[in-house]
């Protein structure tokens, strides 16, 4: 279904996990972000892109490499792909592909293309502040924490800020990578809201918002969660676990994420975080 539509923008919302897929058009390009989940949903996005394309180049942006955000790549192999350098160097490509395979097996899902980890044409590293295509400017910030290879992208002059799996109104922080990196990424988010004043924020799951107060509120909620998580990890008793469901509606699946967050927080506090060594061959 379509969650949000303006002249320049269509935000699709999957039936699963309220995951968003964005198609944005400027005079210079078409930008597609994280097309997902079900074959018919991805097909609808592809048809929309073909309908509005009008001869323009198509860019495909991945906010991060979690399997639900990359599984639509096969439908857009003709696009110029953009992701972080860390996404390209990801040592867990195979795990993400296996997660897609598991999901498709579980629900009898056939897809019209072979599943591969996305090719990256434009790898955004620390030194890449922005790229321009005509009058369209894409500004980037590395956003690790949720996972290791997140990327914030601000599309100007439209003022559309694509944040991936941060600042959702449906999810407290899900932290697979690092709590301390997550906190630093929230600081970057604050700076972007304050200094760049995005007109619209699009999270990977849940509702888009054009309300600056709402952006700050989500930021505050995320920080509050991290603080409470730290307290729970230090104190032993987790009072957070019950309180969370006053605010969030999907305890069924999210309880597990909270428990894993707590485990990760404890490891970080004890200083026993395993050092991740890339198994990718060096260039």
Of the two residues 150 and 232, which places its CB atom closer to Zn ion in the complex? 150
Give alpha helix (H) positions in the chain: 39-52, 67-70, 85-89, 93-106, 179-191, 212-235, 240-247, 251-270
Q: How far is the CB of 86 from Zn ion (least distance, A)?
A: 16
Residue recorded with tokens 């009008």:
54
Applying the rule CB under 5 A, the residues between 158 and 177 that interact with Zn ion are: 165
Contact residue for Zn ion among 204, 222, 248, 264 (CB under 5 A): 204
Cα distances (Å, whole numbers) of residue 43 to 6, 72, 75: 21, 9, 8
* Interior angle at CA 237, CA 235 and CA 240, nearest 5: 105
13 binds Zn ion (CB under 5 A): no
Closest CA to 23 of 7, 39, 37, 166: 7
Q: How far is the CB of 206 from Zn ion (least distance, A)?
A: 10
**Among 32-40, 184-192, 196-204, 214-222, which window interacts with Zn ion (CB under 5 A)?**
196-204
Q: How far is the CB of 40 from Zn ion (least distance, A)?
A: 20
Q: How far is the CB of 33 from Zn ion (least distance, A)?
A: 12
Cα–Cα distance for residue pair 213/65, rounded to 1 Å: 29
Q: How far is the CB of 210 from Zn ion (least distance, A)?
A: 22
Residue recorded with tokens 């260039």:
283
Residue recorded with tokens 């097909």:
43
What x/- string results for residues 86 through 125 when contact with Zn ion is judged by CB under 5 A? ----------------------------------------
Which parts of this chain interact with Zn ion (CB under 5 A)?
Answer: 66, 68, 165, 204
């Amino acid at each position: 279904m379509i969650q949000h539509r303006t002249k320049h923008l269509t935000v699709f919302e999957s039936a699963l996990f309220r995951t968003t897929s964005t198609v944005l058009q400027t005079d210079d390009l078409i930008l597609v972000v994280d097309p997902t989940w079900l074959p018919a949903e991805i097909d609808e996005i592809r048809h929309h892109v073909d309908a509005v394309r009008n001869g323009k180049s198509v860019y495909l942006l991945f906010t991060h490499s979690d399997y639900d955000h990359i599984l639509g790549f096969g439908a857009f192999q003709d696009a110029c792909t953009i992701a972080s350098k860390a996404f390209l160097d990801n040592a867990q490509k195979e795990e993400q592909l296996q997660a897609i395979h598991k999901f498709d097996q579980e629900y009898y899902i056939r897809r019209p293309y072979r599943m591969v980890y996305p090719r990256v044409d434009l790898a955004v590293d620390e030194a890449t502040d922005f790229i321009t295509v005509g009058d369209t400017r894409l500004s980037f910030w590395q956003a690790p924490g949720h996972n290791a290879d997140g990327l914030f992208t601000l599309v100007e002059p439209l003022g559309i800020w694509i944040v991936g799996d941060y600042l959702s109104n449906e999810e407290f922080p899900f932290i697979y990578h690092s709590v301390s990196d997550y906190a630093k990424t929230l600081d970057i988010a604050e700076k972007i809201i304050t200094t760049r004043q995005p007109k619209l924020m699009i999270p990977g799951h849940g509702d888009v918002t054009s309300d600056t107060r709402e952006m700050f509120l989500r930021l505050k909620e995320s920080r509050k969660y991290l603080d409470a998580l730290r307290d729970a990890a230090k104190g032993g008793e987790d009072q957070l676990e019950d309180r969370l469901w006053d605010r969030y509606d999907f305890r069924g699946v999210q309880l597990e994420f909270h428990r894993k967050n707590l485990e990760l927080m404890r490891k970080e506090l004890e200083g026993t975080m395993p050092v991740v060594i890339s198994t990718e061959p060096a260039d």
